[in-house]
Amino acid sequence: MLDDTFELTVTDLKQYAYCPRVFYYHACLPDVRPTTFKMEAGIDAGERERYRSARRTFCAYQVENGERYFDVPATSVELALTGIVDEVIEVAGAHTELIPVDYKLSRRAGHHFKLQLTAYAELLEATYHVPVRRGFLYLIPQQHAEEIAITKSLRRNLRELLSAMRLVAQLERMPQSGHPARCRNCEFKRFCNDV
């Protein structure tokens, strides 16, 4: 029986999106270091972007005024999920809202990035009891903030993905390779004998 309280992090989601096996190694073989070169590059770029973002105006996010917070921790008991949001914009007033911003070393706002942003939206709602209707993926190479609506469909997809991840972790079943093109430069290649 699947345990829905098995705790996951948004970092787990990122690993699963990069390749489900990277998540599997992390969850089932914790002595194996689960960070690939590309993931580390993404983390470094995100940290550099945080400093630039602090000086950026709110125009990039189509907001006139607000408060900006960085590295905001948040938790959802319902999803058994925790994470730290790169940046959160708080817009006060008649329609108070929180807007998560996730920095990405990518030129495209892919579906898996939208799911990570949805995870942050759910975590912020659960922790701060303020609605999150939208967020931004800040595409670092293009210096462009893309607005993403947090839709019911994305929320449903997120729950399906978390269930699939829990299945992998609890049954300790190695998943298929998600993205064969990434195997060439992957430091886990020596563990994946079939790629």
List residues binding ligand SF4 (CB under 6 A): 19, 21-22, 177, 182-183, 186, 188-189, 192, 195
Write the CB contacts of 64 (distance below 8 Å, at least 6 apart in sequence): 58
Q: Closer CB to ligand SF4, residue 19 or residue 145?
A: 19
Minimum CB separation from ligand SF4 for residue 81, in Å?
Answer: 23
Beta-strand (E) ranges in 19-132? 67-76, 81-91, 97-104
- Rounded Cα distance between 32 and 23, Å, is 11
DSSP string, 18-35: H-HHHHHHHHH-TTS---
- Closer to ligand SF4 by CB, 159 or 182: give it: 182
Of 19 and 72, the one with the shorter C-beta distance to ligand SF4 is: 19
Please state the closest distance from residue 2 (CB atom) to ligand SF4, in A.
23
Tell me the closest approach of the beta carbon of residue 177 to ligand SF4, in angstroms: 3
In the complex with ligand SF4, which residue's Cβ is closer, 173 or 189? Answer: 189
Please report how close the Cβ of residue 115 comes to ligand SF4 at its closest, in angstroms: 18
Cα–Cα distances (Å) from 115 to 30, 61, 122, 130, 193, in that order, read 25, 19, 10, 19, 30
